[in-house]
Structure 1
């Protein structure tokens, strides 16, 4: 005889529901593209009516921007954590390059390319892209300045060196949609070589084995294992400056939902 007891439906708090929607949207953005982030599509993903999604995001444009911001912030926190474990600036920078290479990050590279293209026509997304670029610049410049203060790095202008590194990474990552398996090592190492030269480090200083204390950490936010082929891609931190040099990265990455 079937049970007549019905399961009690648990109502989620507004904060929990908001976070759930953003995570689902970021996942769809990474796997299918920002064009697929619609109120109906995310409603289907969560098994709810589109009206519930629109209650939290009246405009689909807001949801698209939030999806991108969530995924991009999770990537930044994975590769350049604001709170770094014990280790030297050189070790942290070497860790960054070690985990910003390889096929594990292709999807996030494609997402950056996608976001920069769509941001030409979508002001809300354009603002979010600018925030994430500022966050990348601020976080990487902060690490470089720390290295200069500790006399590990030598550069007359940490901001300029930061931009040079990001420009090379962007150029390499722009090819995430193409087969780069035949690239010479000298090309794949261009970002590392640029950093070593710009920071007065000997060749190979940023490709030595990474110390265990600065080892890899799991991506947060979207739960995705996707990423990039040759480093942070699609204009990360190389667009027009969103403020003074060394802008507060925490403020710049405020798009990440709590």
Structure 2
């Protein structure tokens, strides 16, 4: 009869462990809200002691802020990939996704983060940085489309801001009730973008 030696716990590299903690916190923030991101909750999800999470994030607010940035950066790269198939195609896909239920979790996360950032300076700094990144990504896309004659926009930066404000407003409205997804307010971001980019109504509808 042979005996099996006790299993040894594999010690992860610091960078890998930190990344795992942030990704877990981001998942909790997306599905349940940033208020639920605590050192103990993340530790329970990972099956480790809270002290381990606290070693990487002595202040819970730092973990909350990192979780927000991780989640929204991942969404940004998914919605507006740096290497796109062209401005028009990218915008059609973008509005198709942001107007669907797939975008609900991240839009709620933005609303949640903006509310909490009133009381959490570290989170507020991350929210402001992410807002700038999203605006810059849209500005670059609009400028590229304008340069090739696909769009007609004299102020890509201003247009990017107005489109994002329209998305935020529609998200706040739609998130109060799924029944409102088919209302004119839900379609507002796309129609605002079409106006800003000099496009005919319906041009940015996903095919």
Superposed displacement of residue 2, structure 1: 7.7
For residues 1-258 of structure 1, the aligned pairs below 5 Å read 3-84=3-84, 87-182=85-180, 185-209=183-207
Contact 1:61 1:124 in 2 (8 A): yes
Structure 1 residues 41-98: Cα deviation after superposition (integer angstroms, max 9, x where no partner):
11111111111001111111100100111111111111011222xx321111111111
Note the residue ranges of structure 1 that are not aligned, 5 or more in a row. Answer: 210-258
Structure 1 or 2: more helix by fraction: 2
Aligned match of 1:255: none
Greater shift in the superposed pair: 168-177 or 34-43: 168-177
Partner Cα distance (1:12, 1:60) in 2: 22
User: C-alpha root-mean-square deviation of aligned residues, in Å?
Assistant: 1.6
Greater shift in the superposed pair: 96-105 or 131-140: 96-105
- Secondary structure of the equivalent of 1:128? helix
Aligned residues: 207
Partner Cα distance (2:153, 2:106) in 1: 30
Superposed displacement of residue 194, structure 1: 1.1
TM-score by length of 2: 0.94
Partner Cα distance (2:150, 2:8) in 1: 59
Partner Cα distance (1:53, 1:97) in 2: 37
Partner Cα distance (1:186, 1:132) in 2: 28
Partner Cα distance (1:182, 1:96) in 2: 19
Structure 1 residues 152-201: Cα deviation after superposition (integer angstroms, max 9, x where no partner):
11011111111121111110011343114256553322111111111111
Note the residue ranges of structure 2 that are not aligned, 5 or more in a row. Answer: none
Superposed displacement of residue 141, structure 1: 0.5
Bigger RCO of structures 1 and 2 (CA < 8 A, at least 6 apart): 1
Superposed displacement of residue 4, structure 1: 3.4
TM-score by length of 1: 0.76
